[in-house]
């Protein structure tokens, strides 16, 4: 019965279904008539020859495109394919069912970069054995009297040129979540082509899913992900949940990763712990005790995010406990308490900064009577220099960044009283400005772009923009403007193409022209929250839980999806969202949710 049923079932591939029975009776290969009718005009004339051949491992395939990984590169390239593209598998005619992830493909491209033929192989070795063929097979001109297109010789394989990256205890359970039904991704239609970098092969889109988030706010603390090729619009229920890790304890720590190990922190029973998870599965790898558990009326647990530097990690707890450990094992190499060692006292809601690694220096802010900011040897923990900022401010809740003005490398630190620049080599104070500081809590990390430094705080204060330039003392800081339109409490800000985005109290997503302070647009969106940027979009996580995807444009608020985070705790969703490796990470007290942003896996 199965064979009889299959014989009556029509073909599912439209090109092969057109006139298939009549064609078989005439001895014509199914799909040949339609393929010839479409291809003849394209192949006529001197430009009919194949322009290039690309080889690589199949990453994904849709009705309109195929994505392959060339060599060992982490970059995935997607190419348009003809609707009726001829496919051969190990030398035999095949269907699209052979375009399976893990198989290898040889793509024959037209001068426009469109795939006109695909040869598929089980393995790289099989593809290499097949080898490039320079002699053309004997051409066939007709089948049953119907004109067809002759086969053309294969051409030598031309790998695409490299493209630059865009500008990256209790056992925690990792629970895979079943794939939710969703709408087709608009990216499958090739809606945002990237101009080709050469004339031989034009990739429709460059997909980069390289995990690159080794510290708080990303590789250069600019809060911008290097991922490309992410979902441009979300289904009604949001992107697919990839895994959920549990057993992380209390805390507001976000995540950092090198692509293998994913780090966060949390209170586990009586101690504050650094926790390592597997990036792909969320499985617990190891954990170590960093200090005593931190408890506070505004929420228990550590606030900062571990910093990864090569094969080591550095973690600062809410009580000032600083540790350095091996990334692979969690074995502690050295420890210090920055409050005890430099005469500091803890701030109201606990030490929250994430330490900065710059060369061999570790930068942190004890805010003590012996030092406001210190540089430690990252290898040993020994003190390299100390800086006592004018006015002896305490630490605040923001994290330091490193910038270069002229020839002067410096650290920008937001203290309890002001934003200050400190010379990296010596620890000398270069400049200070208090226009964006309030007397309660300065939480938002400053941003720096094209010589402009913008800092902001909440509690009714707002922001200030400084122009930094070389000067007699090393750097001159000239205030350009102040604004009440960016009262950014603790959700962070990001600059994209000269425009600043952030949540302004009482919870309005705001876009400001960085150079002038002019407000471009404001929208309440999902409410007060934290932001990050990836692939043309702002990701806004409301402290109440919902997450919105907003196009990063000064032309107006343009939302491309939102969803309500499941399994919410009873505490505010303050940990900043992270987008890296094609995933979105949302920490919420005891759990960490990993969402898949790759269109191929929705």
Structure confidence by residue, pLDDT tens digits, 492-535: 999 999 999 999 999 999 999 999 999 999 999 999 999 999 99
Peptide bond into 566 cis (omega under 30): no
For 584-596, what is the mean pLDDT? 98
Stated length of the chain: 602
Measured distance CA(52)–CA(430) in Å, rounded:
56
What integer pLDDT is reported at residue 46 of this predicted model? 37
Evaluate if residue 197 carries a pLDDT over 50.
no
What integer pLDDT is reported at residue 422 of this predicted model? 98
Asked if 94 and 85 touch (Cβ cutoff 8 Å), the reply is no
- Residue 561's pLDDT band (boundaries 50, 70, 90)? very high
Measured distance CA(250)–CA(259) in Å, rounded:
24
Phi, psi of 126 (to 5 degrees): -65, -40
| Whole-number Cα distances in Å, 157 to 92, 106, 200, 592 | 21, 9, 11, 44
Burial of 278 (0-12, 13-18, 19+ CB in 10 A): middle
For 396-407, what is the mean pLDDT? 97
- Residue 132's pLDDT band (boundaries 50, 70, 90)? low
Looking at the domain that runs over 49-135+154-160+186-208, which CATH code has it been given? 2.40.50.140
Nearest CA-CA partner of 178 in 235, 101, 243: 243
Measured distance CA(118)–CA(140) in Å, rounded:
20
Fold of 209-601: Methylamine Dehydrogenase; Chain H (2.130.10)
Nearest CA-CA partner of 523 in 494, 548, 498, 495: 548
What integer pLDDT is reported at residue 14 of this predicted model? 34
For 453-478, what is the mean pLDDT? 96
Q: Domain boundaries in the chain?
A: 1-45, 49-135+154-160+186-208, 209-601
Lowest mean pLDDT among 139-143, 236-240, 242-246, 357-361: 139-143
Mean of all residue pLDDT scores within the chain? 83
Q: Would you say the CATH fold of 209-601 matches that of 49-135+154-160+186-208? A: no
Asked if 421 and 400 touch (Cβ cutoff 8 Å), the reply is no
Evaluate if residue 465 carries a pLDDT over 90.
yes
For 84-88, what is the mean pLDDT? 88
């Amino acid at each position: 019965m199965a064979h009889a049923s299959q014989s009556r079932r029509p073909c599912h591939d439209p090109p092969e279904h057109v006139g298939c029975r009549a064609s078989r009776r005439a001895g014509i290969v199914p799909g040949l008539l339609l393929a010839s009718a479409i291809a003849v005009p394209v192949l006529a004339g001197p430009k009919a020859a194949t322009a290039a051949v690309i080889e690589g491992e199949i990453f994904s395939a849709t009705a309109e495109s195929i994505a392959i990984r060339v060599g060992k590169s982490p970059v995935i390239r997607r190419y348009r394919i003809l609707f009726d593209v001829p496919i051969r598998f190990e030398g035999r005619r095949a269907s699209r069912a052979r375009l399976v992830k893990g198989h290898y493909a040889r793509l024959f491209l037209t001068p426009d970069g469109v795939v006109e033929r695909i040869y598929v192989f089980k393995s790289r070795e099989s593809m290499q054995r097949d080898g490039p063929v320079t002699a053309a097979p004997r051409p066939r001109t007709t089948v049953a009297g119907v004109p067809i297109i002759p086969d053309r010789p294969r051409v030598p394989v031309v790998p695409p040129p490299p493209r630059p990256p865009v500008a990256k205890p209790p056992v925690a359970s990792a629970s895979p979540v079943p794939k939710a039904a969703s709408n087709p991704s608009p990216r499958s239609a090739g809606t945002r082509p990237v101009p080709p970098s050469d004339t031989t092969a034009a990739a429709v889109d460059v997909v980069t899913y390289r995990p690159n988030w080794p510290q708080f706010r990303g590789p250069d603390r600019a809060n911008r992900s290097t991922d490309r090729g992410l979902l441009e619009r979300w289904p009604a229920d949001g992107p697919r949940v990839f895994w959920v890790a549990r057993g992380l304890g209390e805390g507001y720590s976000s995540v950092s990763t090198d692509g293998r190990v994913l780090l966060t922190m949390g209170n586990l029973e009586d101690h504050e712990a650094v926790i390592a998870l597997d990036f792909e599965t969320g499985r617990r790898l190891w954990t170590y005790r960093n200090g005593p558990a931190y408890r506070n009326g505004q929420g228990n647990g550590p606030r900062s995010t571990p910093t990864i530097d090569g094969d080591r990690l550095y973690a600062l707890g809410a009580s000032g406990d600083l540790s350095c450990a091996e990334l692979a094992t969690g074995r502690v190499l050295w420890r210090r308490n920055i409050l005890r060692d430099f005469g500091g006292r803890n701030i109201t809601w606990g030490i929250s900064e994430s330490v900065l690694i710059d060369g061999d220096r570790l930068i942190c802010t004890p805010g003590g009577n012996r030092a406001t900011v210190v540089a430690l040897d990252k290898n040993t923990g020994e003190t390299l220099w100390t800086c006592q900022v004018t006015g002896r401010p305490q630490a605040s809740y923001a994290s330091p960044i490193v910038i270069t003005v002229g020839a002067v490398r410096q650290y920008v630190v937001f203290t309890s009283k002001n934003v200050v620049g400190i010379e990296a080599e010596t620890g000398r104070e270069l400049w200070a400005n208090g226009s964006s500081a309030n007397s309660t809590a300065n939480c938002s990390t400053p941003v720096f772009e094209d010589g402009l430094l913008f800092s902001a705080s909440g509690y009714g204060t707002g922001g200030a923009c400084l122009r930094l330039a070389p000067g007699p003392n090393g750097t001159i800081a000239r205030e350009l403007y102040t604004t009440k339109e960016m009262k950014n409490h603790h959700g962070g800000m990001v600059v994209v193409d000269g425009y600043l985005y952030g949540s302004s109290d009482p919870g309005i997503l705001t876009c400001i022209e960085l150079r002038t302070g002019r407000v471009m647009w404001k929208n309440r969106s999902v409410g007060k929250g934290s932001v990050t940027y990836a692939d043309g979009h702002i990701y806004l996580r409301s402290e109440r839980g919902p997450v919105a995807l907003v196009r990063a444009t000064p032309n107006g608020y343009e939302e491309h999806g939102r969803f309500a985070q499941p399994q919410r705790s009873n505490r505010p969703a303050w940990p900043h969202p992270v987008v890296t490796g094609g995933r979105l990470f949302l920490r919420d007290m005891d759990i960490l949710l990993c969402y898949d942003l790759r269109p191929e896996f929705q």
